[in-house]
Structure 1
Amino acid sequence: MKWNYTQPVDIRFGAGRVAEIGEVARERGLYRGLLVAGGHSVRSGLAQRVLDHGRGTIEAVFSEFSPNPDVTEVDACAELIRTQDVGFIVALGGGSALDLAKAASVIGAGSRESVGSITDYHGTGKPLPLTHLPLIAVPTTAGTGSEVTCVSVLTNRAAGVKAPIVSNGFYPELAIIDPELTYTVPPYVTACTGMDVLSQAIEGYWSVGHQPICDALAVHAARLVFEFLPKAFTTPDDREARERMCEASVTAGLAFTLPKTTSSHACSFPLTNRYGIAHGEACALTLDYFTRINAADPEGRVNALARSLGYRDADGLADAIADLRRTLGLRENIADLGLGESDIAALVRDSHHPNLDNNPVVITDDNLLALYRGLASGGAANADKHNEREERQ
């Protein structure tokens, strides 16, 4: 087996460490900073706290972007970077802020004439330039792991497309993971982002691009989620649970960056694009199904993962995922959407995302039809087991 491991991000983890941001910026000779922060961070005063911690190194704020940031918002941020001669970027928030900042750090590093628009690279396969502004990532949720990845997930609403872009230019220079910033995250967001962590870890483990270091990180992250996500959800002021979920998040980010995510993430994109289901909730909706399907992997990796996590086999792991989803009060199905056969056919078509190619078992249209018909009828659990048995025969 041949494999490579690269992780260029400097990681600083611990409660209160956001206060170091000005110090680390000065150490690196970074000035004229731009803070990319969502509207909630601005209204809550958190953005101002970060500006204060910057000790004069951060001079401007960009907050005009939406959840699931649009390509037009990336271009707007890039234009601000050019006009204000920004020297570095601080991304504060969940995946939306970090994804937008990553893309803007590349597009804004050159002229519009030389680099173009982010739409030139979104879903086109055209490689992005590697030149980028230094980026300091400060996550406020225990969820995406974006602070240590080379992935930016963007939406082109005009084209009806949500998709990731992968570029080595997206790696932040520094990630500051301060669990204190997650203490006020609402339970529903805690649940969704936590299940995204679990999906990243499990999918990174069973991905066809798996490798030993990422495997070890994935197992560690998944264990933490099963133990501490229910506590963080039911007791939001449990500081240990919050800290361990932040640990799970950054560890899962390291676990999936190189192997990449697979089937649950591929299916999450159309569920979010078409029906507005939150990303982590959309991943959670299909993760147990694909756990059963992927038990047919001839390498036996899914059953090995299940045993590493303390479950008897892949079925036991799938049951644990479904139980956790119920504990968190997340969607069990999409029966409330009233989908017809044409809607289901569209979901099947749109699920053929490149991430699907990373799955260890070939996912057919029949698999996807069974999944979506089960979810649409409210009977997904039985459909999962039926499909899993068929795959093993």
Structure 2
Amino acid sequence: MTSADASEHESVFTYGAPALKYGSGSSDEIGYDLTQYGARRVLVLTDPGVAATGWPQRIAEGITGYGIEVEVFDGVHVEPTDVSMGKAVDFARGHGPWDAFVAVGGGSSIDTAKAANLLTTNDGELMDYVNAPVGGGRAPTVPLKPLVAVPTTTGTGSESTTVCVLDVLSLRVKSGISHLRLRPTLAVVDPRLTVSQPAGVTAASGMDILCHAAESYTAKPYTEFGRKRPEQRVPYCGANPLADMFAEQALRLLSLALPAAVADGGNMKAREDMALAATFAGLGFGNAGVHIPHANAYPIAGQVRDFHPDGYPGEEAMVPHGMAVSLTAPAAFRFTFEAAPERHLHVARLLAPDFEWAGDFADHLPAVLRDLMERIGIPNGIGAVGYSTSDVDSLVLGTLKQQRLLATAPREAAEEDLAAILRDSVELW
């Protein structure tokens, strides 16, 4: 690269993260933490399943012990939609004002709290802020209130990120809102809250952690993007040394913890390592970004017809986010291998240091992923969740709407490349 070429490429990467409190018992201290933000009136958001565990009420009671008024909204929808988020926003607007928000649950609760916080501090409606071209892509102009994120699943990393994900029902597509102001103020990671996850939820959310880490580590390097002015910078800036460090440690922890936690949900060492891995992966991808597997996951989840996953509540058809992400990951990483061979091989070695492989190097990481997915009960490809080759064209159209994610891929994926990845993912083994 000549000096003239270098001047056209980015030389700056950014890093952001919430304050973090980790460890068993940390959720008992949230009332004290809120006093440090001057909060006097707080809204706790959770979903019915998590509410049934008693943890949200226990946390709310702990907060009131510090003289803070608390209301609990337990109507969060698992895998939230624009409609379900709208209901939470209406509740928050109708019962406010609030000094702070507390989200207790998985990514669904945390993302819904982000939306409620956004739309009680800024004017407009939800779709105004959803990423273009699905929504208006508007940026918040007013700072948000403090948000304390308390994950009860180990997977989404939403407690660390600037992203809020939702299904837009009328368009049958998954999209999101992305802005630095959406990042939680404090992440409280208490592994005790994750023990109630069923095995199917642990497996799906664990694959979300894995893909967060693997995609951020193999993302397009920040130095390969065009140079940006400060006001043009976005949270997903490409692979960089800090994000790499968190991704690598997440993968090391997952290599043993994920199969162990699926096999025995009461294994506290595995639960603790999964909680750390989820947080580390969130700190990584929340800055570097994710790419093709996540872009494919949005239409896979958004166009679901009649699949009902094990371990998830309700009668509604759904493909859980982490599961949807994982189903095309083997084929996607086979496609991106040539852009960064050593990084793909390093991910494979971190996940399965004892995995013997004598085949094509490009197939090493896909083989590791297929082996792990089969062992922990992930469905055998998109065919097992209701899709066939006849659905590929529709899925590709949905993927192409995720340009924010595709831009982070280390190898540019044209429409025909995405179609090939999806066809190769109908059946994995």
Compute the TM-score of the two structures, normalised by the length of structure 2.
0.83
Shift, 1:130, TM fit: 4.3
Question: How many residue pairs align between the two structures?
Answer: 375
Aligned to 1:60: 71
Worse overlay, 218-227 or 301-310: 301-310
Among 357, 368, 376, the alignment partner of 1:320 is 368
Shift, 1:366, TM fit: 2.8
Change in 2 beyond 3 A, CA 1:338/1:74? closer
**SS in structure 1 of the partner of residue 288 of structure 2:** coil
Tell me if the contact between 2:210 and 2:251 (Cα under 8 Å) persists in the aligned partners: yes
Shift, 1:43, TM fit: 2.3
Aligned to 2:166: 154
Shift, 1:204, TM fit: 0.6
Asked if residue 15 in structure 1 is aligned to residue 21 in structure 2, the reply is no
Aligned to 2:124: 116
For 1:35, the aligned partner's letter is V
Change in 2 beyond 3 A, CA 1:45/1:3? same
Structure 1 residue runs of 5 or longer lacking an equivalent are 382-393
Shift, 1:80, TM fit: 3.0
Deviations 1:274-300 (A, max 9, x none): 113211111111111122211110574
Tell me if the contact between 2:255 and 2:350 (Cα under 8 Å) persists in the aligned partners: no
Deviations 1:195-247 (A, max 9, x none): 00000000011111110110111111011112110000001111000000000
Tell me if the contact between 1:134 and 1:173 (Cα under 8 Å) persists in the aligned partners: yes
Aligned to 2:268: 239
For 1:366, the aligned partner's letter is E
Asked if residue 371 in structure 1 is aligned to residue 421 in structure 2, the reply is yes
Q: Percent same amino acid among aligned pairs?
A: 31
Aligned to 2:114: 102
Q: Determine the C-alpha separation between the residues in 2 that align with 1:165 and 1:153.
A: 7
For 1:294, the aligned partner's letter is T
Asked if residue 205 in structure 1 is aligned to residue 205 in structure 2, the reply is no
Structure 2 residue runs of 5 or longer lacking an equivalent are 1-9, 221-237, 305-317
Tell me if the contact between 1:107 and 1:118 (Cα under 8 Å) persists in the aligned partners: yes
Tell me if the contact between 1:75 and 1:107 (Cα under 8 Å) persists in the aligned partners: no
Asked if residue 343 in structure 1 is aligned to residue 351 in structure 2, the reply is no
Aligned to 2:309: none
Q: Determine the C-alpha separation between the residues in 1 that align with 2:272 and 2:384.
A: 35
Map 1:1-393 to 2 at 5 A. Answer: 2-54=11-63, 55=65, 56-83=67-94, 84-110=96-122, 115-123=123-131, 124-208=136-220, 209-275=238-304, 276-297=318-339, 300-307=342-349, 310=353, 313-336=361-384, 339=387, 342-352=390-400, 353-354=402-403, 355-376=405-426, 378=427, 380=428
RMSD over aligned Cα, in angstroms? 2.0
Structure (1/2) with the larger helix percentage: 1
Tell me if the contact between 1:145 and 1:252 (Cα under 8 Å) persists in the aligned partners: yes
Tell me if the contact between 2:101 and 2:117 (Cα under 8 Å) persists in the aligned partners: yes
Aligned to 1:391: none
Greater RCO (CA < 8 Å, at least 6 residues apart): 2
Aligned to 2:4: none
Worse overlay, 348-357 or 123-132: 123-132
Worse overlay, 152-161 or 137-146: 152-161
Aligned to 1:390: none
Change in 2 beyond 3 A, CA 1:116/1:302? same
Q: Determine the C-alpha separation between the residues in 2 that align with 1:8 and 1:371.
A: 33
